[in-house]
Amino acid sequence: MNLRVEGVSFRYPSGVLALDGIDLAIPSGQLLAILGENGAGKTTLVKLFNGLLRPSQGKVYIGDWDSAEHTTAALARRVGFLFQNPDDQLFERTLAREVGYGPRNLGASEAEVKRRVARALKLVGLHDMAEAHPYDLPQPQRKLLALAATIAMDTPILVLDEPTIGQDEVGRGAISRILTDLHRMGRTLIMISHDMDFCAEHAQRMLVMLNGKIHVEGTTEDVMGQTKKLDEAEVAPPQLVRLAQALKMPGTPLTVDDFVDEYKQWRKKKKSK
Amino acid sequence: MIELKKFSYWYPGTEQPALDRVSLSIAEGEFIGIVGANGAGKSTLCYALSGFVPHFYNGETEGQHTFNGQDMASLDLGQLAGQVGLVFQNPFNQISGARFTVREEIAFGLENLGLPQSEMRARIDEALELVNIQDLAERSPFSVSGGQQQRIAIASILAMQPRVLVLDEPTSQLDPDGTRDMFTALNKLVSTRKITVILAEHKLEWLATFCDRVIALGGGKLRAEGSPQAVLSSEQMLRLGVGRTQYSEAAARLLRTKQLPVTLEQAKKALK
Ligand SMILES: Nc1ncnc2c1ncn2[C@@H]1O[C@H](COP(=O)(O)OP(=O)(O)OP(=O)(O)O)[C@@H](O)[C@H]1O
Ligand SMILES: [Mg+2]
């Protein structure tokens, strides 16, 4: 399902103008990363997608719906949402109930709820703890639990606000696999992250925000190579891109595999000169 | 300055120790990084090094736990609070909510230190500047972004000017430049004021660039300890679920060397 933002501005009641004239089209099935410095407006922008916030000006379309004409509950059928702070979305007594809450609310049968809960908990590696209390889990695990709850909604669009915060290699690996799976299933994925290495590896396109505006947008390779633009937005390229630049090697390697290939070619060329 | 000898700690009602016979000695003026998979005991070690274990957490301890040669459990809390500061993993736990503006929030912690007004103001200004949120001073600490909130939590501890600063994943929500700036600022405090900084982190690149020493935990036990390059380049980091920097991963595929690079500078040198 696609998503469109037309001429959107947003001002918090306190007076802060957090979004300032945003136009954006995200095609169905895309994996988009939103980057930008703290306070750039990333979270505010995505909260418009499921109606947690409503634009002060402009329109947000979710597929063929004008979001202004739909309640937050209705929008939740189309847009799944992982909060930056997982504690904003956890309120049940057990992990299983937490993950089952959304599907149950959407009217899924008990058998269906059970199936979705088992699958989602398995995906994030928490299936052994289905009967534990969410607050018995440390923060990074609560984030994974919240992710499971988001997945269980089975929405065509998913918004993940900083999914890899506080995750170790195992957690990052699980999130990486989940993203890859959902992408393969044709879901539209919007991920906010400061984890440049992770974004470089997974995102198809990137959007960098600065002061409530879109600062740069393009394919991952294109955006990651724009050192000056990134610098203006307080965003540094990922490690491998910085290493390639430090070595004065051409190209924008996004993964270790890419880097190794490009490095070998570059050395060969240098030698033959 | 802080010493653990075969120190174990059990949270109330648990059978597995969260820290299992950890021996560790931290000197004044050191900048120390703690790494480990989720659940390895990083936060618990942060609590122990800052005295929150045993002072604020019940449970059982075993072994020795001293601060400047004195038994940690016997220390007076007021005294300890003036010397040691802890920044929690989740900034939302740290903001008191007792005050209306960010400036007042930071002042809240300082009020018990009995400082003159001018000194308080100077400290707050310095702390705001260190984490680069001068422009948020008059805002409410709740109507800000996640990364801004994390900066507020750090600033309120920095303003206390503790001699020992323990930070549990303080940069998890910071933007890339903010993360680098935070490490730079801490490093400067270590070298100019000789404070001790202990920091648990997943961002290995910055630990490797700035720390004097890195400690790796696994299953509550101390698994490795040494220079950042020695510890973070080793294969053991993969087994511990810590991972390695992409510099190490790329170099591992391209070079045969005794010790893989872990920072940009080291990788540049090795691959030039
Ligand atoms: N509840 C709120 N009330 C008032 N202003 C807010 C509120 N939440 C955020 N803001 C302000 O709106 C702007 C955009 O914030 P937003 O949370 O969208 O940033 P972000 O890009 O997600 O940042 P981060 O990387 O720190 O999460 C900032 O200036 C912030 O201080
Ligand atoms: Mg945000």
- 3-class secondary structure for chain A? CCEEEEEEEEECCCCCEEEEEEEEEECCCCEEEEEECCCCCHHHHHHCCCCCCCCCEEEEEECCEEHHHCCHHHHCCCEEEECCCHHHCCCCCCHHHHHHHHHHHCCCCHHHHHHHHHHHHHHHCCHHHCCCCHHHCCHHHHHHHHHHHHHHCCCCEEEEECCCCCCCHHHHHHHHHHHHHHHHCCCEEEEECCCHHHHHHHCCEEEEEECCEEEEEEEHHHHHHCHHHHHHCCCCCCHHHHHHHHCCCCCCCCCHHHHHHHHHHHHHHHHHC
What is the helix (H) or strand (E) element at residue B187, kind and residue range? helix B176-193
CB contact under 8 A, B268 and A247: yes
Contact predicate B183/B156, CB 8 Å = no
Integer distance in angstroms from the first to the last C-alpha of chain A? 51
The residue count of chain B comes to: 272
Contact predicate B7/B48, CB 8 Å = yes
pLDDT value at position B180? 93
Tell whether the model's pLDDT for residue B212 goes beyond 90.
yes
Measure the CA–CA gap between B222 and B187, rounded to whole angstroms: 24
Distance from CA of B160 to the nearest CA of A (A): 24
Nearest CA, atom 11, ligand 1? B144
pLDDT value at position A195? 94
Residue A239 CB coordination number (10 Å) = 25
Contact predicate A40/A211, CB 8 Å = yes
pLDDT value at position B82? 81
Predicted model pTM: 0.94
- Give the residues of chain A that fall short of pLDDT 50: none
Domains of chain B by start residue, with CATH: 2-83+162-271 (3.40.50.300)
pLDDT value at position A153? 94
pLDDT value at position A36? 97
B112 confidence band (pLDDT: 50, 70, 90)? confident
Tell whether the model's pLDDT for residue B247 goes beyond 80.
yes
Amino acid of residue B175:
D
Strand partners, A64: none
Average pLDDT of chain B is: 93
Which chain A residues are closer than 8 Å to B34 by Cβ?
A: none
**Which of A8, A44, A234 for mutating ligand 1's site (highest number of atoms within 8 Å of CB)?**
A44
pLDDT value at position B54? 86
Distance A41 CA to ligand 2 centre (A): 7
Which among B151, B176, B254 has the least Cβ separation from residue A194? B176
Tokens of B250: 């790329």
pLDDT value at position B79? 80
Contact predicate B21/B41, CB 8 Å = no
Tokens of A175: 């999130």
pLDDT in tens, B43-89: 999 999 999 988 888 899 999 999 999 999 888 877 888 899 999 88
CB contact under 8 A, A260 and B253: yes
pLDDT value at position A207? 97
Tell whether the model's pLDDT for residue B33 goes beyond 90.
yes
Residues 6+ apart with CB under 8 A from B22: B4, B6, B7, B8, B45, B63, B220, B221, B222
Strand partners, A57: A9
- Closest-CA residue to A211 (of A54, A21, A12): A21
Tell whether the model's pLDDT for residue B95 goes beyond 80.
no
CB contact under 8 A, A166 and B89: yes
Amino acid of residue B111:
E
pLDDT value at position A106? 87
| Residue ranges lining ligand 1, Cβ < 6 Å | A 12, 14, 16, 18, 36, 38-44, 84; B 143-148, 173, 175
Q: CA-CA distances (angstroms) from residue A13 to A18, A72, A254, B95, B122? A: 11, 19, 40, 21, 31
CA within 13 Å, CB half, B70: 10
Tokens of B180: 């680098």
Task: Give, in degrees to the nearest 5, the angle at Cα B167 between B19 and B100.
Answer: 130
pLDDT value at position B34? 98
- Closest-CA residue to B38 (of B253, B257, B241, B260): B241
pLDDT value at position B80? 85
Q: Which of A17, A145, A162, A169 to mutate to test the interface with B (most CBs of B within 10 A)?
A: A169
pLDDT value at position A139? 85
Contact predicate A237/A196, CB 8 Å = yes
Nearest CA, atom 4, ligand 1? B143
A vs B, Cβ pairs < 8 A, gives 124
What is the helix (H) or strand (E) element at residue B3, kind and residue range? strand B2-10
Distance B147 CA to ligand 2 centre (A): 7
pLDDT value at position B155? 94
